Amino acid sequence: MQFKNIIGHDTIKSHFVNTVKNNRISHAQLILGPKGVGKLSLVISYAQYISCKNKNNNDSCGECSSCKKYQKLIHPDLHFVYPVVKTKKLKKPVSDDFIKEWREYVLSSNYHKLSNWLEHIGTENLQGSIYAHESQEIIKKLNLKTFESEYKVMIIWMPEKMNISASNKLLKMIEEPPPKTLFLLVSENHELIINTIRSRTQLIKISKISNTELENGLKKEFDLHEDELKNIVRLSNGNYMKAIEIISENENNKFNFEIFVELMRYSFAAKVIEITQWVDKISSMGREKQKFFLLYTLRMVRENFVLSLLPDNQNQLVYLNNEELAFSKKFSSFINKNNISHITNELESAHRHIERNAYDKLVFLDLSLKIIKLLRIKG
C-alpha cells in the first residue's frame, strides 16, 4: 500500500515520512482514530515506506522487491494481529489461522471495520477477540531475526479487543522489545486498552477526513451530481466508509431504518402482539447486527431530538438522509428534553447486555416495553 492511495491525512503522512528520514521511529505507536478514515491502510503504507529499498521524498517506490511483497501482505518481516473467533475446529484460534482471509479482506479496500471483517470470514454473529494464546505467537515471531528488512513490524488491529492476559504479555514485549522491532497498534477506542500499554506507546491521532478531501476523493471514483455529492459528504461526517454506504444504499442501513420505524410505530401505538413479532425478527439476527441496530437507533433518536429543538436548521445540524428525514419530521415531536436521556440510557443498556451475550429476546422485549412508556412522556 502507498500513501498516495489514501484520501487526505497529509499531515500524518508527512509525520510518518519524517520519522523515517530523521531516524526517529518510535518502537511502539498507538494510532487512534474514528471508523472509516483509513487508519489500517495508513499504517501498512508507513510500514511499507520503512522497508522500501528505493524510498522517494513522500512515499514508497511501489516497485522494489520489498514493496511488491508488502502490496500482497506477504513480506516475511510484516506480522499482523487482529480479532478472530472460536469455531468448532478452532478452539484456540490465532490470527495466522485466518491469514488467507485477512489478506483478501485488507487488500479489497483501503478502508476497514470490524463488522466487515467478521462478515468476510462468515462469523458476523460472533464477537471477535484477541485471545491470550495470541501473545505466544507474537513472542515467537518477534524473537526471530529479521529476514529482509531492518525492522520487524507487528501491526495490531483493534488492540481494544485484547483480553487482559494477552494485554499483559504484550506489555512485557513493548517494555523490553527485541532489537529493531516496531509495534503499530491501530485503535478506535484507546480507553479499552490497558493503561500500562497506552502509557508506553506514542499516541498518534488520526482525524476525520475533511469535507474537502472527502469530496475530492469521491469525485475521482463516482459520477455524482454536485448537490448529491455535497449531501453525501455532509452525512458521512468524515467517514469514507459511511460515504460509500450512502452511495451504495447499503442494505444493512435500509434494514435498520425499516425495523427502527417498525419499533417506534408499534411502541407508540402500544401494539404488543406486533412488538413480540418484531422481537422475534430482530432476535434471528446475529449479535453484531443487533449491536449495530442499537447504535443506529441511538443515532436516530439523537438526530430526532436535535430536529425537534431546531427544525429550521435541519440542513446544517441534522445528519439524516432523505428517507430518514421524511419520517423524522413527524416522529421528532415525540423525542423531547424529558425523555431523551431515558431513551438513550435504555438503548445503551441494551447494547451492553447484547455485547455481554444476554438473552436477546428478553433484552429487546424489555427495551420495547420501556419505549412504549417513554414515548408518552411529553416535553
Instruction: Report if residue 228 sits inside a domain.
Output: no
Instruction: Report if residue 235 sits inside a domain.
Output: no
Residues 118, 21 within the same domain:
yes
Q: Distances from the Cα of 118 to the Cαs of 86, 101, 242, in angstroms?
A: 12, 10, 18
Q: Which residues pair with 40 in a beta bridge?
A: none
CB distance 104 to 178 below 8 Å: no
Instruction: Report if residue 43 sits inside a domain.
Output: yes
Give per-residue pLDDT as tens, 233-256: 988 889 998 898 888 764 567 789
Residues 266, 366 within the same domain:
yes
Q: Residue 312: what pLDDT?
A: 63
Predicted TM-score (pTM) of this structure: 0.67
Q: Residue 87: what pLDDT?
A: 83
Residues 258, 368 within the same domain:
yes
239: alpha, beta or left? (left if phi > 0; alpha if psi -120 to 50) = beta
Residues 159, 282 within the same domain:
no
Residue 57 buriedness (CB in 10 A; 0-12 / 13-18 / 19+): exposed
Q: Residue 318: what pLDDT?
A: 66
Instruction: Report if residue 144 sits inside a domain.
Output: yes
Which of 178, 205, 232 terminates a domain? The answer is 205
- CATH code, 176: 3.40.50.300
Residues 126, 23 within the same domain:
yes
Q: Residue 315: what pLDDT?
A: 54
Q: Which residue has the cell 444493512?
A: 252
Three-state SS at 177: coil
Q: Which residue has the cell 447486555?
A: 353
Residues 192, 319 within the same domain:
no
CB distance 157 to 118 below 8 Å: no
- CATH code, 283: 1.20.272
DSSP letter (8 states) at residue 311: G
Neighbouring C-alpha atoms within 13 Å toward the C-beta of 122: 3
Range of the structural domain that residue 312 is part of: 249-374
Which of 205, 240, 267 terminates a domain? The answer is 205
CB distance 7 to 53 below 8 Å: no
Instruction: Report if residue 83 sits inside a domain.
Output: yes
Q: Which residues pair with 185 in a beta bridge?
A: 30, 156
What are the residue ranges in the chain where pLDDT is below 50? 250
Residues 287, 145 within the same domain:
no
Instruction: Report if residue 222 sits inside a domain.
Output: no
Count of domains in the chain?
Answer: 2
Residues 199, 254 within the same domain:
no
Give per-residue pLDDT as tens, 188-198: 999 999 999 99
Which of 205, 225, 241 terminates a domain? The answer is 205
Residues 185, 265 within the same domain:
no
Residues 189, 280 within the same domain:
no
CB distance 238 to 210 below 8 Å: yes
Q: Residue 314: what pLDDT?
A: 54
Q: Residue 311: what pLDDT?
A: 67
Residues 170, 260 within the same domain:
no
Residues 13, 133 within the same domain:
yes
Instruction: Report if residue 214 sits inside a domain.
Output: no
What's the chain's average pLDDT? 90
What is the Cα Rg of the chain in Å? 23
CB distance 90 to 109 below 8 Å: no
